[in-house]
Amino acid sequence: QVQLVESGGGLVQAGASLNISCTASAGTITNYAMAWFRQAPGKEREFVAVISQNIDTTFYGDSMSGRFTISRDNAKNAVYLQMNSLKPEDTAVYYCTARRTDGTDWGQGTQVTVSS
């Protein structure tokens, strides 16, 4: 298993940018596809983005494409989510995940709040 810790969330105004990070406090992410999900109050968890273990493939949720960029640095055991042109509807807890062949590990989440 991989223990994941998200950081970098906060309160920003609409239109601003924010970069959130996820690092592995135990284990390594090198062999796993890494993804971000988010969950807003009262809503279902939503897929945000995924990046392959070889960094050659990324895929985004419909409402994030063009505004969000997922990246990873395997040497630093970290994955990042650069979020631009943030909207109030982007407000949510953002979770990092490591997709293993026998399961998925989740971080505890980081809160992102976008004010209008």
pLDDT digits 0-9 by tens, 61-105: 998 878 999 999 999 999 999 999 999 999 999 999 999 989 999
Residue 56 has pLDDT above 90, yes or no: no
Q: Tell me how far the alpha carbon of residue 54 is from its chain's centroid.
A: 17
Residue 3 has pLDDT above 80, yes or no: yes
* Residue 48 token pair: 């945000």
- Band of the pLDDT at 51, cuts 50, 70, 90? very high
pLDDT of 26: 85
pLDDT digits 0-9 by tens, 18-47: 999 999 988 889 999 999 999 999 999 999
How many other CB atoms are there within 10 angstroms of residue 33's CB atom? 19
How many other CB atoms are there within 10 angstroms of residue 89's CB atom? 12
pLDDT of 19: 98
How many helices, marked H, and strands, marked E, lie in the chain? 0, 11
34: β partners = 51, 98
